[in-house]
Amino acid sequence: MPSLALRAAALAAACLLSAAPDRAAAQDVTLSPQGGGLALSGTLLSFDGEFYRIDSTFGILTLDAQAVVCAGPGCPDLTGFVPEVLLGGSQTLARRLLPALLDGFAAAQGLTVLHGAGEQGAEVALAASGEERVLARFGLLGGDSAQGLAALQDGRIDIALSVRAVRDPGLRARVIALDALVPVVAPDNTLPAIGLRDLAAVLTGEIDNWAALGGPDLPLRLHLRDADAAVQLVIEERLLAGAQFPAPPGARRHPSDAALAAAVAADPLGLAVTLQSAAAPARVLPLRGPCGVLRTATPLAAKAGDYPLTVPLMMYTRMERLPLQARRFLAFATGGPAQALVAAAGFVDQTVTAQPVAEQGDRLAGAIAAEDAELDELRRLVAALQGTQRLSYTFRFESGVTEMTPQSLANVERLAEALEAGRYAGRELVLAGFTDGQGRRDINLRLSAQRAEAVRRAVLAEAPMFDPARTVLRVEGFGPAMPLDCDDTYAGRQVNRRVEVWLR
């Protein structure tokens, strides 16, 4: 198998992950059982230090290296074998979060990180403390989210980093951090807030003057990322329901998030949408709905998904066995010890937080003030949740269905793990379902209860060791009784379709 440095250099020289060569040259091997028996011959596809994977006349087989003897030109050198893990995709994650995660992973394993072993730091080697012998290598490649996902599907990398959530039955998604899309302006711009509908109109060029937003009669200059940048595609998905739009005349495009933020900060007439983690030195604007709701991307709002433009940052892998070091790294990156590193890197961590129902006054006041408020349902809601506290686990859905979003599926796993660990033993969890305000109220009431039940079933399926006698899981459906945002935008409706978790 070619060395990781050679493969990383080849990919860097090609500039695009899609132009990369195969990860390993296929060669013939024969694997014979240690105690004798039927030998299997075929083409060696991979070896991860634990298992051989070969393409044989019986199909693709995975065999334990300790149980067989390898013979043939494709057999690896077991004495000098170094496990290799290749990652690629989003530069937002590769540059700003991944190095910290690798440092933390190495420390947890009792290893030393040797940076810069490859081209321009493209390779990170891990060695035993005080030694130079490399025990594992991690290759960090360039590209963007789309290129990383394509390389993962082709088998050229082990882990893809993405700021876009994609649905692919052949891939497994893991949320490693959260971020948020935020509107930004220059620090001396006095605009107090902007509505989602107005923000969408700015992106399409319908609004091109600050007067339309309550500002001076001056032209508005829109700043954008490159058209194929993952964050730009996420903006279109979240604010324009995935609709493609040409850049308005005079819009200025930028090759990186940092360049965009710097340009907006220096432009008194500029406005852009970017990730909150990359917004400085520009000023972030709160979102304002026509129903008077103000939303800021606080950590709690992002964790619960209450901020309508929350973005999950993902790691994707194929649905097959990964090398041992890759499995260990994924377990670390998505586990509790990594969350402090996530926060220190400027992203939102996923530690569970709680807020008592007594501190939900603003949400209840907004629900009462809504034009179509049903006071009977609100009374039932208050009675059902009296004395509880809301946990930051939240599950969201597409319109009219009970299918959860990728970030919500990650919350299913986290809640299942907490239940199996007995974290809420002796307590009651209320799964409270809500819908947006579209459609008939009686249908929405049924749909909200069905969504809460879908979450209950999904969590129980992920928690086979959970004892239901230890924690009560109760399902409630309240329809559109307590909207988090206005229903006049796609993003607002999306944030209202949810199941919340309340602890009593």
In terms of domains, do 235 and 332 share one? no
Asked if the structure places residue 482 within a domain, the reply is yes
Does residue 375 surpass a pLDDT of 70? no
Asked if the structure places residue 415 within a domain, the reply is yes
How do beta strands 252-254 and 27-33 pair? unpaired
Mean pLDDT, to the nearest integer, of 71-77? 87
Give 429's strand partners: 473, 503
Q: For residues 324 and 196, give the distance between their C-alpha atoms in angstroms, rounded to a whole number.
A: 45
Of 344, 361, 385, the position where a domain reaches its end is 344
Q: For residues 147 and 14, give the distance between their C-alpha atoms in angstroms, rounded to a whole number.
A: 12
Q: For residues 440 and 443, give the distance between their C-alpha atoms in angstroms, rounded to a whole number.
A: 5
Q: What is the pLDDT of residue 16?
A: 33
Helices 361-369, 375-385: inter-axial angle, 10-degree rounding: 160
Does residue 11 surpass a pLDDT of 50? no
Compute how many other C-beta atoms are within 10 angstroms of the C-beta atom of residue 114: 15
Cα dihedral across residues 194, 195, 200, 204: positive or negative: negative
Give 89's strand partners: 161
Higher pLDDT, 359 or 288: 288
In terms of domains, do 62 and 17 share one? yes
Higher pLDDT, 121 or 323: 323
- How does 77-98 read in b/e, with b if 16+ C-beta sit within 10 Å? eeeeebbbbbbbbbbbbbebbb
Cα dihedral across residues 451, 453, 456, 458: positive or negative: negative
In terms of domains, do 194 and 147 share one? no
In terms of domains, do 171 and 318 share one? yes
Does residue 331 surpass a pLDDT of 50? yes
Does residue 24 surpass a pLDDT of 70? no
Percent of the chain with pLDDT over 90: 43
Compute how many other C-beta atoms are within 10 angstroms of the C-beta atom of residue 270: 20
In terms of domains, do 183 and 165 share one? no
Q: For residues 67 and 114, give the distance between their C-alpha atoms in angstroms, rounded to a whole number.
A: 33
CB within 8 Å of 439: residues ≥ 6 apart = 400
Q: For residues 42 and 73, give the distance between their C-alpha atoms in angstroms, rounded to a whole number.
A: 11
Which amino acid appears at position 19 of this protein?
Answer: A
Range among 22-36, 70-84, 358-372 rated most confident: 70-84
Q: What is the pLDDT of residue 14?
A: 32
Asked if the structure places residue 301 within a domain, the reply is no
Average pLDDT, rounded, for the chain: 84
Helices 406-420, 441-462: inter-axial angle, 10-degree rounding: 50
In terms of domains, do 171 and 206 share one? no
Q: 370 falls in which pLDDT band (50, 70, 90)? A: low
Asked if the structure places residue 361 within a domain, the reply is yes
Q: Domain containing 35 — which CATH number?
A: 2.30.30
Range of the domain at 132: 84-176+313-344
Of 26, 48, 71, the position where a domain reaches its end is 71
Mean pLDDT, to the nearest integer, of 213-225? 96
Compute how many other C-beta atoms are within 10 angstroms of the C-beta atom of residue 253: 16
Does residue 119 surpass a pLDDT of 50? no
**Which tokens in the block code for residue 381?**
């809601």
In terms of domains, do 229 and 91 share one? no
Does residue 53 surpass a pLDDT of 50? yes
CB within 8 Å of 261: residues ≥ 6 apart = 184, 272, 274, 278, 279, 280, 281, 282
In terms of domains, do 435 and 482 share one? yes
Q: Are 183 and 194 in contact (CB under 8 A)?
A: yes
DSSP state of 145: H
Mean pLDDT, to the nearest integer, of 37-54? 86
Cα dihedral across residues 500, 296, 287, 265: positive or negative: negative
The total domain count for the chain is: 4
In terms of domains, do 170 and 196 share one? no
Q: 9 falls in which pLDDT band (50, 70, 90)? A: very low
Q: What is the pLDDT of residue 411?
A: 86
Range among 268-277, 355-364, 462-471, 491-500 rated most confident: 268-277
Higher pLDDT, 359 or 426: 426
Asked if the structure places residue 76 within a domain, the reply is no
Higher pLDDT, 121 or 72: 72
Asked if the structure places residue 78 within a domain, the reply is no
Q: What is the pLDDT of residue 493?
A: 81
**Helices and strands of the chain, counted as H and E runs:** 15, 23
Does residue 8 surpass a pLDDT of 80? no
Percent of the chain with pLDDT over 70: 87
pLDDT digits 0-9 by tens, 386-424: 888 989 889 988 776 678 877 788 889 889 999 999 999
Mean pLDDT, to the nearest integer, of 261-275? 97
Asked if the structure places residue 79 within a domain, the reply is no
Does residue 18 surpass a pLDDT of 60? no
Q: Domain containing 219 — which CATH number?
A: 3.40.190.10
Q: What is the pLDDT of residue 66?
A: 84
- List the 27-33 sheet strands across, edge first: 59-64, 51-56, 40-47, 27-33, 68-71
In terms of domains, do 182 and 170 share one? no
Phi, psi angles (nearest 5°) of residue 400: 75, 5
Asked if the structure places residue 152 within a domain, the reply is yes
In terms of domains, do 468 and 358 share one? yes
Higher pLDDT, 58 or 1: 58
Does residue 17 surpass a pLDDT of 80? no
In terms of domains, do 127 and 184 share one? no
Q: What is the pLDDT of residue 460?
A: 94
- Residues recorded for the chain: 504
pLDDT digits 0-9 by tens, 168-212: 889 999 889 999 999 999 999 999 999 888 999 999 999 999 999
Q: Are 395 and 408 in contact (CB under 8 A)?
A: yes
Does residue 365 surpass a pLDDT of 50? yes
Q: 56 falls in which pLDDT band (50, 70, 90)? A: very high
